[in-house]
Amino acid sequence: MSESTHVHKGLEGVIADTTSVSLVDGAAGRLYYRGYAVETLVNKRFAEVMHLVVFGELPDAGRLEEVEEYLWVAGRLPPDLARSLRQIARHGEHPMATLQSIASLLANEPPAISLGRTQQEEEALIVAARLPAAIAMIHAALQDHPEHRYPVSRRYGERYLQLLHGRCPTAAEVSAFESTQILQLDHGFNASTFTARVVTSTLAPATSALSAAMGALYGPLHGAADQQALEMAFEVGEPERAREFVAQCLATGRKVMGMGHREYRVVDPRSRMIRALAQQVARVPDHVKLLDVLSAVDEAFIEQTREKRRTLRANLEFYKGVVYLALGIPKEFFTASFAAARVFGWIAHVIEQRQDNRIIRPAAHYVGPAPRESV
Protein backbone atom coordinates (compact mmCIF):
# COMPACT_ATOMS: atom_id res chain seq x y z
CA MET A 1 0.00 0.00 0.00
CA SER A 2 1.46 3.39 -0.94
CA GLU A 3 1.80 5.93 1.83
CA SER A 4 -0.87 8.19 0.37
CA THR A 5 -3.57 5.51 0.71
CA HIS A 6 -2.64 4.35 4.19
CA VAL A 7 -5.77 4.86 6.29
CA HIS A 8 -5.30 5.89 9.92
CA LYS A 9 -8.58 4.45 11.16
CA GLY A 10 -9.83 6.54 14.06
CA LEU A 11 -6.82 8.81 13.43
CA GLU A 12 -4.82 6.60 15.83
CA GLY A 13 -1.27 7.86 16.16
CA VAL A 14 -1.89 10.87 13.91
CA ILE A 15 -0.39 14.09 15.27
CA ALA A 16 -2.92 16.61 14.00
CA ASP A 17 -1.37 19.76 15.50
CA THR A 18 0.62 21.08 18.45
CA THR A 19 -0.91 22.08 21.77
CA SER A 20 0.38 23.62 24.97
CA VAL A 21 -2.77 23.01 27.03
CA SER A 22 -2.25 19.47 28.32
CA LEU A 23 0.18 16.60 27.92
CA VAL A 24 -1.13 13.03 28.08
CA ASP A 25 1.82 10.71 28.67
CA GLY A 26 0.13 7.41 27.84
CA ALA A 27 3.21 5.25 28.39
CA ALA A 28 3.97 6.59 31.88
CA GLY A 29 0.34 7.16 32.86
CA ARG A 30 0.83 10.85 33.59
CA LEU A 31 -1.28 13.91 32.80
CA TYR A 32 -0.04 17.51 32.93
CA TYR A 33 -1.95 20.77 32.54
CA ARG A 34 0.34 23.49 31.18
CA GLY A 35 3.32 21.60 32.59
CA TYR A 36 1.94 20.85 36.07
CA ALA A 37 1.24 17.20 36.97
CA VAL A 38 -2.48 16.87 37.65
CA GLU A 39 -1.71 15.23 41.03
CA THR A 40 -0.31 18.59 42.19
CA LEU A 41 -3.43 20.47 41.06
CA VAL A 42 -6.24 18.20 42.17
CA ASN A 43 -6.61 19.74 45.64
CA LYS A 44 -6.63 23.36 44.48
CA ARG A 45 -9.77 25.45 43.98
CA PHE A 46 -11.48 24.65 40.70
CA ALA A 47 -11.28 28.26 39.46
CA GLU A 48 -7.49 28.29 39.94
CA VAL A 49 -6.95 25.25 37.74
CA MET A 50 -9.59 26.41 35.28
CA HIS A 51 -7.61 29.66 34.96
CA LEU A 52 -4.41 27.72 34.39
CA VAL A 53 -6.00 25.64 31.64
CA VAL A 54 -7.74 28.51 29.84
CA PHE A 55 -5.24 31.33 30.30
CA GLY A 56 -1.96 29.44 30.74
CA GLU A 57 -0.94 30.34 34.34
CA LEU A 58 -2.18 29.81 37.87
CA PRO A 59 -3.82 33.04 39.10
CA ASP A 60 -2.57 35.07 42.09
CA ALA A 61 -5.08 35.81 44.89
CA GLY A 62 -6.39 39.00 43.26
CA ARG A 63 -6.89 37.42 39.87
CA LEU A 64 -8.57 34.37 41.43
CA GLU A 65 -11.06 36.65 43.16
CA GLU A 66 -11.69 38.48 39.87
CA VAL A 67 -12.28 35.23 37.96
CA GLU A 68 -14.56 33.78 40.64
CA GLU A 69 -16.56 37.03 40.68
CA TYR A 70 -16.79 36.87 36.88
CA LEU A 71 -18.06 33.27 36.92
CA TRP A 72 -20.59 34.18 39.62
CA VAL A 73 -21.96 37.29 37.87
CA ALA A 74 -21.88 35.82 34.34
CA GLY A 75 -23.23 32.49 35.61
CA ARG A 76 -26.67 33.81 36.51
CA LEU A 77 -29.21 33.06 33.78
CA PRO A 78 -31.05 36.15 32.52
CA PRO A 79 -34.82 35.69 33.26
CA ASP A 80 -35.93 35.41 29.59
CA LEU A 81 -33.25 32.86 28.85
CA ALA A 82 -34.15 30.92 31.99
CA ARG A 83 -37.81 30.78 30.92
CA SER A 84 -36.95 29.56 27.40
CA LEU A 85 -34.56 26.98 28.76
CA ARG A 86 -37.14 25.64 31.17
CA GLN A 87 -39.61 25.24 28.30
CA ILE A 88 -37.07 23.44 26.10
CA ALA A 89 -36.00 21.17 28.97
CA ARG A 90 -39.59 20.14 29.64
CA HIS A 91 -39.59 18.25 26.33
CA GLY A 92 -37.81 15.59 28.37
CA GLU A 93 -34.73 15.01 26.19
CA HIS A 94 -31.55 13.75 27.82
CA PRO A 95 -29.80 16.73 29.52
CA MET A 96 -26.90 16.44 27.06
CA ALA A 97 -29.22 16.71 24.05
CA THR A 98 -30.85 19.78 25.59
CA LEU A 99 -27.50 21.32 26.46
CA GLN A 100 -26.17 20.84 22.95
CA SER A 101 -29.24 22.52 21.47
CA ILE A 102 -29.13 25.53 23.76
CA ALA A 103 -25.38 26.01 24.19
CA SER A 104 -25.10 28.89 21.71
CA LEU A 105 -28.16 30.61 23.20
CA LEU A 106 -26.47 30.74 26.59
CA ALA A 107 -24.29 33.65 25.46
CA ASN A 108 -27.35 35.83 24.77
CA GLU A 109 -27.91 38.88 26.97
CA PRO A 110 -24.28 39.26 28.05
CA PRO A 111 -23.61 40.08 31.72
CA ALA A 112 -22.37 43.47 32.95
CA ILE A 113 -18.92 42.06 33.63
CA SER A 114 -16.03 41.13 31.39
CA LEU A 115 -12.58 39.58 31.53
CA GLY A 116 -11.38 41.84 28.73
CA ARG A 117 -11.02 39.09 26.14
CA THR A 118 -12.10 39.12 22.47
CA GLN A 119 -15.83 38.97 21.80
CA GLN A 120 -15.60 35.32 20.69
CA GLU A 121 -13.74 34.33 23.83
CA GLU A 122 -16.09 36.29 26.08
CA GLU A 123 -19.09 34.58 24.50
CA ALA A 124 -17.53 31.17 25.09
CA LEU A 125 -16.73 32.10 28.70
CA ILE A 126 -20.33 33.22 29.26
CA VAL A 127 -21.57 29.84 27.99
CA ALA A 128 -19.16 28.09 30.35
CA ALA A 129 -20.11 30.29 33.30
CA ARG A 130 -23.83 29.67 32.72
CA LEU A 131 -23.64 25.89 32.27
CA PRO A 132 -24.09 25.09 36.00
CA ALA A 133 -27.28 27.18 36.21
CA ALA A 134 -28.49 25.74 32.90
CA ILE A 135 -27.89 22.19 34.13
CA ALA A 136 -29.71 22.95 37.39
CA MET A 137 -32.57 24.46 35.39
CA ILE A 138 -32.88 21.32 33.25
CA HIS A 139 -32.84 19.25 36.44
CA ALA A 140 -35.58 21.38 38.02
CA ALA A 141 -37.69 21.27 34.84
CA LEU A 142 -37.43 17.48 34.56
CA GLN A 143 -38.33 17.07 38.25
CA ASP A 144 -41.11 19.61 37.79
CA HIS A 145 -39.99 21.71 40.74
CA PRO A 146 -39.14 25.43 40.76
CA GLU A 147 -35.48 26.28 40.28
CA HIS A 148 -33.51 27.09 43.43
CA ARG A 149 -32.43 30.62 44.29
CA TYR A 150 -29.11 31.68 42.76
CA PRO A 151 -26.52 31.00 45.48
CA VAL A 152 -24.33 33.76 46.91
CA SER A 153 -21.24 31.58 46.98
CA ARG A 154 -18.44 32.64 44.64
CA ARG A 155 -16.87 29.20 44.90
CA TYR A 156 -17.60 27.13 41.79
CA GLY A 157 -18.20 23.75 43.44
CA GLU A 158 -20.32 25.13 46.24
CA ARG A 159 -22.48 27.03 43.78
CA TYR A 160 -22.82 24.04 41.45
CA LEU A 161 -24.10 21.67 44.13
CA GLN A 162 -26.32 24.32 45.70
CA LEU A 163 -27.87 25.18 42.33
CA LEU A 164 -28.70 21.53 41.86
CA HIS A 165 -29.95 20.69 45.35
CA GLY A 166 -31.00 23.99 46.90
CA ARG A 167 -28.99 23.29 50.04
CA CYS A 168 -25.50 24.25 51.14
CA PRO A 169 -23.06 21.40 50.50
CA THR A 170 -20.49 20.44 53.15
CA ALA A 171 -16.85 21.49 52.72
CA ALA A 172 -15.96 17.83 52.04
CA GLU A 173 -18.58 17.61 49.27
CA VAL A 174 -17.34 20.83 47.66
CA SER A 175 -13.77 19.66 47.73
CA ALA A 176 -14.61 16.18 46.30
CA PHE A 177 -16.67 17.76 43.54
CA GLU A 178 -14.02 20.34 42.62
CA SER A 179 -11.32 17.66 42.53
CA THR A 180 -13.47 15.57 40.19
CA GLN A 181 -14.08 18.57 37.95
CA ILE A 182 -10.36 19.44 37.93
CA LEU A 183 -9.56 15.93 36.70
CA GLN A 184 -11.92 16.46 33.77
CA LEU A 185 -10.71 19.87 32.58
CA ASP A 186 -8.60 18.82 29.63
CA HIS A 187 -7.13 15.75 27.99
CA GLY A 188 -5.22 16.28 24.75
CA PHE A 189 -6.99 15.87 21.43
CA ASN A 190 -9.87 13.76 22.75
CA ALA A 191 -12.94 13.49 20.49
CA SER A 192 -14.91 16.46 21.86
CA THR A 193 -11.87 18.74 22.01
CA PHE A 194 -10.88 17.80 18.48
CA THR A 195 -14.48 18.48 17.40
CA ALA A 196 -14.24 21.95 18.96
CA ARG A 197 -10.99 22.52 17.06
CA VAL A 198 -12.45 21.33 13.74
CA VAL A 199 -15.41 23.69 14.09
CA THR A 200 -13.13 26.54 15.17
CA SER A 201 -10.89 25.90 12.17
CA THR A 202 -13.77 26.87 9.87
CA LEU A 203 -13.93 30.24 11.70
CA ALA A 204 -17.41 29.41 13.00
CA PRO A 205 -18.30 31.17 16.28
CA ALA A 206 -16.71 29.82 19.45
CA THR A 207 -20.18 29.06 20.81
CA SER A 208 -20.81 26.75 17.82
CA ALA A 209 -17.57 24.93 18.61
CA LEU A 210 -18.75 24.37 22.20
CA SER A 211 -22.14 23.13 21.10
CA ALA A 212 -20.57 20.68 18.62
CA ALA A 213 -18.13 19.50 21.29
CA MET A 214 -21.07 18.71 23.56
CA GLY A 215 -22.49 16.50 20.83
CA ALA A 216 -19.23 14.54 20.73
CA LEU A 217 -19.05 14.27 24.52
CA TYR A 218 -22.55 12.78 24.58
CA GLY A 219 -21.30 9.61 22.84
CA PRO A 220 -20.92 6.50 25.05
CA LEU A 221 -17.40 5.83 23.74
CA HIS A 222 -16.46 9.25 25.14
CA GLY A 223 -18.19 11.26 27.91
CA ALA A 224 -21.40 9.29 28.29
CA ALA A 225 -19.34 6.27 29.34
CA ASP A 226 -19.73 7.73 32.85
CA GLN A 227 -23.48 7.14 32.96
CA GLN A 228 -23.14 3.78 31.24
CA ALA A 229 -20.41 2.53 33.59
CA LEU A 230 -22.69 3.16 36.54
CA GLU A 231 -25.66 1.56 34.80
CA MET A 232 -23.43 -1.43 34.16
CA ALA A 233 -22.62 -1.61 37.89
CA PHE A 234 -26.36 -1.68 38.63
CA GLU A 235 -26.76 -4.43 36.04
CA VAL A 236 -23.98 -6.54 37.58
CA GLY A 237 -25.62 -6.05 40.97
CA GLU A 238 -23.30 -8.14 43.15
CA PRO A 239 -19.49 -8.30 43.27
CA GLU A 240 -19.75 -12.09 42.95
CA ARG A 241 -21.29 -11.69 39.49
CA ALA A 242 -18.40 -9.58 38.12
CA ARG A 243 -16.30 -12.40 36.63
CA GLU A 244 -19.20 -13.93 34.78
CA PHE A 245 -20.35 -10.50 33.55
CA VAL A 246 -16.91 -9.59 32.18
CA ALA A 247 -16.51 -13.01 30.56
CA GLN A 248 -19.85 -12.60 28.84
CA CYS A 249 -18.97 -9.10 27.61
CA LEU A 250 -15.66 -10.28 26.19
CA ALA A 251 -17.27 -13.31 24.55
CA THR A 252 -19.98 -11.27 22.87
CA GLY A 253 -17.91 -8.22 21.90
CA ARG A 254 -19.75 -5.96 24.33
CA LYS A 255 -17.53 -3.20 25.69
CA VAL A 256 -17.13 -2.87 29.43
CA MET A 257 -17.84 0.82 29.89
CA GLY A 258 -15.18 2.88 31.62
CA MET A 259 -12.44 0.48 30.50
CA GLY A 260 -9.72 1.04 27.92
CA HIS A 261 -8.19 4.15 26.47
CA ARG A 262 -6.65 5.24 23.19
CA GLU A 263 -3.63 6.87 24.86
CA TYR A 264 -2.95 5.09 28.15
CA ARG A 265 -0.96 1.86 28.15
CA VAL A 266 -0.96 1.78 31.95
CA VAL A 267 -3.64 2.87 34.40
CA ASP A 268 -5.23 6.25 33.68
CA PRO A 269 -3.90 8.50 36.49
CA ARG A 270 -7.31 10.16 36.78
CA SER A 271 -8.90 6.79 37.45
CA ARG A 272 -6.58 6.19 40.41
CA MET A 273 -7.50 9.56 41.91
CA ILE A 274 -11.22 9.21 41.20
CA ARG A 275 -11.24 5.82 42.85
CA ALA A 276 -9.64 7.29 45.98
CA LEU A 277 -12.28 10.04 45.96
CA ALA A 278 -15.04 7.45 45.56
CA GLN A 279 -13.67 5.57 48.59
CA GLN A 280 -13.81 8.83 50.56
CA VAL A 281 -17.34 9.90 49.63
CA ALA A 282 -19.14 6.54 49.45
CA ARG A 283 -20.76 6.41 52.89
CA VAL A 284 -24.23 4.89 52.47
CA PRO A 285 -24.38 1.10 51.96
CA ASP A 286 -25.74 1.38 48.38
CA HIS A 287 -22.78 3.47 47.27
CA VAL A 288 -20.27 1.28 49.08
CA LYS A 289 -21.78 -1.73 47.33
CA LEU A 290 -21.56 -0.04 43.92
CA LEU A 291 -17.91 0.63 44.58
CA ASP A 292 -17.39 -3.02 45.53
CA VAL A 293 -19.11 -4.14 42.33
CA LEU A 294 -16.95 -1.82 40.21
CA SER A 295 -13.76 -2.96 41.98
CA ALA A 296 -14.71 -6.58 41.28
CA VAL A 297 -15.40 -5.79 37.59
CA ASP A 298 -12.06 -3.94 37.42
CA GLU A 299 -10.21 -6.93 38.85
CA ALA A 300 -11.99 -9.44 36.62
CA PHE A 301 -11.41 -7.28 33.54
CA ILE A 302 -7.65 -7.04 34.18
CA GLU A 303 -7.47 -10.78 34.72
CA GLN A 304 -9.47 -11.68 31.63
CA THR A 305 -7.83 -9.23 29.21
CA ARG A 306 -4.22 -10.10 30.09
CA GLU A 307 -3.75 -11.76 26.73
CA LYS A 308 -4.97 -8.78 24.66
CA ARG A 309 -2.47 -7.01 22.40
CA ARG A 310 -3.20 -3.80 24.26
CA THR A 311 -3.20 -3.29 28.04
CA LEU A 312 -6.70 -2.30 29.05
CA ARG A 313 -7.34 -0.54 32.34
CA ALA A 314 -10.03 1.60 34.00
CA ASN A 315 -10.30 5.12 32.65
CA LEU A 316 -11.68 8.28 34.27
CA GLU A 317 -15.29 7.22 33.73
CA PHE A 318 -15.17 3.92 35.55
CA TYR A 319 -15.36 5.03 39.21
CA LYS A 320 -16.58 8.58 38.63
CA GLY A 321 -20.26 7.67 38.89
CA VAL A 322 -19.87 6.67 42.54
CA VAL A 323 -18.44 10.10 43.37
CA TYR A 324 -21.16 11.96 41.48
CA LEU A 325 -23.91 9.76 42.90
CA ALA A 326 -22.62 10.26 46.45
CA LEU A 327 -22.72 14.01 45.80
CA GLY A 328 -26.38 13.72 44.82
CA ILE A 329 -25.90 14.10 41.06
CA PRO A 330 -28.38 11.84 39.24
CA LYS A 331 -26.85 9.54 36.61
CA GLU A 332 -28.58 11.36 33.72
CA PHE A 333 -26.60 14.45 34.77
CA PHE A 334 -23.15 12.82 34.91
CA THR A 335 -22.13 13.73 31.35
CA ALA A 336 -23.59 17.23 31.66
CA SER A 337 -21.53 17.73 34.83
CA PHE A 338 -18.50 16.46 32.92
CA ALA A 339 -19.27 19.05 30.21
CA ALA A 340 -19.42 21.79 32.86
CA ALA A 341 -15.72 21.14 33.53
CA ARG A 342 -14.46 20.12 30.06
CA VAL A 343 -16.00 23.25 28.53
CA PHE A 344 -13.02 25.21 29.88
CA GLY A 345 -10.62 22.83 28.12
CA TRP A 346 -12.60 23.30 24.92
CA ILE A 347 -12.26 27.07 25.31
CA ALA A 348 -8.49 26.78 25.77
CA HIS A 349 -8.34 24.80 22.51
CA VAL A 350 -10.63 27.22 20.68
CA ILE A 351 -8.26 30.04 21.67
CA GLU A 352 -5.20 28.01 20.66
CA GLN A 353 -6.72 26.96 17.32
CA ARG A 354 -7.64 30.56 16.48
CA GLN A 355 -4.10 31.76 17.22
CA ASP A 356 -2.58 29.73 14.41
CA ASN A 357 -5.46 28.50 12.33
CA ARG A 358 -5.59 26.34 9.27
CA ILE A 359 -8.82 24.60 8.30
CA ILE A 360 -8.81 20.97 9.48
CA ARG A 361 -9.61 18.92 6.44
CA PRO A 362 -8.23 15.38 6.22
CA ALA A 363 -8.32 13.32 3.05
CA ALA A 364 -10.30 10.12 2.45
CA HIS A 365 -9.26 7.01 0.55
CA TYR A 366 -12.08 6.47 -1.96
CA VAL A 367 -13.33 2.89 -2.18
CA GLY A 368 -16.64 3.43 -4.05
CA PRO A 369 -17.50 2.44 -7.65
CA ALA A 370 -14.94 3.26 -10.34
CA PRO A 371 -15.88 6.26 -12.51
CA ARG A 372 -18.86 5.25 -14.73
CA GLU A 373 -21.33 6.81 -17.16
CA SER A 374 -24.84 7.77 -16.05
CA VAL A 375 -27.59 6.55 -18.33
Ligand X SMILES: CC(C)(COP(=O)(O)OP(=O)(O)OC[C@H]1O[C@@H](n2cnc3c(N)ncnc32)[C@H](O)[C@@H]1OP(=O)(O)O)[C@@H](O)C(=O)NCCC(=O)NCCS
339 and 131 in contact (C-beta within 8 Å)?
yes
- The verdict on 309 binding ligand X (CB under 6 A) reads yes
Task: Determine, following the binding rule CB under 6 A, whether residue 90 of this chain makes contact with ligand X.
Answer: no
With contacts defined by CB under 6 A, name the span among 153-161, 287-295, 302-310, 324-332 that binds ligand X.
Answer: 302-310
List the one residue from 195, 201, 315, 353 that touches ligand X (CB under 6 A).
315
Residue 192 near residue 335 (C-beta atoms within 8 A): no
Q: Which of 317, 336, 349, 350 binds ligand X (CB under 6 A)?
A: 317
Should residue 320 be labelled a site residue for ligand X when binding is judged by CB under 6 A?
A: no
Q: Which of 50, 99, 196, 312 binds ligand X (CB under 6 A)?
A: 312
By residue count, the chain amounts to 375
82 binds ligand X (CB under 6 A): no
Pairwise CA distance, residues 58 & 161, whole Å: 24
Asked if 294 interacts with ligand X (CB under 6 A), we say: no
Q: Which of 136, 300, 316, 323 binds ligand X (CB under 6 A)?
A: 316
Longest CA–CA span in the chain (Å) reads 73
| Minimum CB distance to ligand X, residue 247 (Å) | 11
Give the contact letters, 175-214, x = binds to ligand X (CB under 6 A), - = no: ----------------------------------------
Amino acid residing at 230: L
| Nearer residue to ligand X within complex by CB, 24 or 129 | 24
Q: Does 10 bind ligand X (CB under 6 A)?
A: yes
Q: Is 71 in the site for ligand X (CB under 6 A)?
A: no
Is 317 known to be catalytic? yes
Residue 165 or 272 with smaller CB distance to ligand X = 272
Interface segment toward ligand X; rule CB under 6 A; list 58-66, 166-174, 315-323, 361-369: 315-323
Enumerate residues 6+ apart whose C-beta is below 8 A from 68: 47, 154, 155, 156
Q: Which of the residues 252 through 281 are near ligand X (CB under 6 A)?
A: 255-262
Q: Give the separation between CA 268 and CA 263, rounded to whole angstroms.
A: 9
Contacts with ligand X in 137-176 (CB under 6 A)?
A: none
Smaller CB distance to ligand X: residue 178 or 317?
Answer: 317
What is the smallest separation between the CB atom of 179 and ligand X, expressed in angstroms?
18
Task: Give the distance, in angstroms, between the CA of residue 247 and the centroid of all CA atoms in the same chain.
Answer: 29
- Residue 68 is a catalytic residue: no
283 binds ligand X (CB under 6 A): no
Active site residues: 261, 317
Q: What are the residues binding ligand X (CB under 6 A)?
A: 10, 221-222, 225, 255-262, 308-310, 312, 315-317
